[in-house]
């Protein structure tokens, strides 16, 4: 069994870079497992135990860096050249969190504006100057914290359904929407247990 628990830690820190970097590490581990086993005798199941509040939003053009500012696709004003702007005239990133330590008001640890890892504040003040102007912020830095709408010291889990993928004996059972307890029963069946 491989648990990529640091994906969770990156999200709790409000830091999409670390969460995504750890997701790549999980993909590498799954690749090794696929290479070293045969689908004829080994069931491999990949899933998550919950989601987080990270969202992918806007209409960034194909190939736009995922942690970067949204640079618009066809149909957007200044498509493909300039960052898209919100209605206050400020650019925004494709990735954002619904809550967490990326809230841009002043905390007891960092001043008002975009936040940097590590940041686990104990208290916050409200945003007084609107959203930060991200055109002067290195948003693709591993330390950048995506903006969060609600001020929390640590970002929370989310409530969406999560994906599940499988290869090997019994893999055909993993499809559609299932309760999480189903995973155990499908694995037990693949093992030939009663
Ligand atoms: Zn967690």
Hey, what are 146's tokens? 């995506």
CA of 153 to the centre of ligand 1 (A): 13
pLDDT of residue 81: 83
pLDDT at 154: 98
Q: Ligand 1: distance of its center to the CA of 11 in Å? A: 8
Q: Which residue has the tokens 């860096």?
A: 65
Domain ranges of the chain: 1-38+53-155
Cα 82 to averaged position of ligand 1 atoms, centre (Å):
36
DSSP conformation class of 171: G
Strands 144-145 and 54-56, bridge-based pairing? unpaired
CA of 143 to the centre of ligand 1 (A): 19
DSSP 172: G
Pair of tokens at residue 22: 């750890």
pLDDT along the chain (194 residues), means of 10: 96 98 97 98 96 94 94 69 91 97 98 98 96 96 98 97 96 94 93 87
3-state SS of 73-108 is: CCCCCCCCCCECECCCCCECECEEEEEECCCCCCEC
Cα–Cα distances (Å) from 149 to 17, 49, 77, 188, in that order, read 18, 24, 25, 42
Give 29's strand partners: none
Which pLDDT belongs to residue 162?
96
Length of the chain: 194
Ligand 1 centroid distance, CA of 152 (Å): 14
pLDDT, residue 79, reads 66
């Amino acid at each position: 069994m491989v648990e990529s628990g640091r994906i969770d830690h990156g999200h709790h820190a409000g830091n999409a870079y670390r969460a995504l970097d750890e997701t790549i590490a999980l993909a590498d581990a799954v690749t090794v497992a696929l290479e070293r086993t045969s689908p004829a005798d080994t069931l491999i199941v990949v899933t998550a135990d919950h989601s987080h509040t990270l969202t992918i939003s806007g209409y960034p053009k194909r190939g736009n860096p995922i942690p970067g500012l949204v640079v618009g696709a066809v149909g957007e004003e200044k498509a493909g050249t300039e960052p898209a702007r919100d209605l206050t005239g400020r650019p925004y990133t494709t990735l954002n969190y619904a809550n967490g330590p990326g809230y841009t008001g002043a905390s007891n640890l960092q001043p008002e504006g975009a936040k940097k890892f590590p940041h686990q504040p104990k208290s916050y003040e409200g945003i007084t100057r609107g959203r930060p102007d991200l055109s002067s912020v290195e948003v693709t830095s591993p330390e950048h914290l995506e903006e969060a709408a609600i001020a929390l010291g640590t970002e929370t889990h989310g409530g969406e359904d999560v994906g599940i993928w499988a290869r090997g004996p019994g893999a055909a059972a993993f499809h559609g929407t299932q309760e999480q307890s189903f995973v155990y029963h499908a694995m037990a069946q693949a093992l030939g247990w009663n």
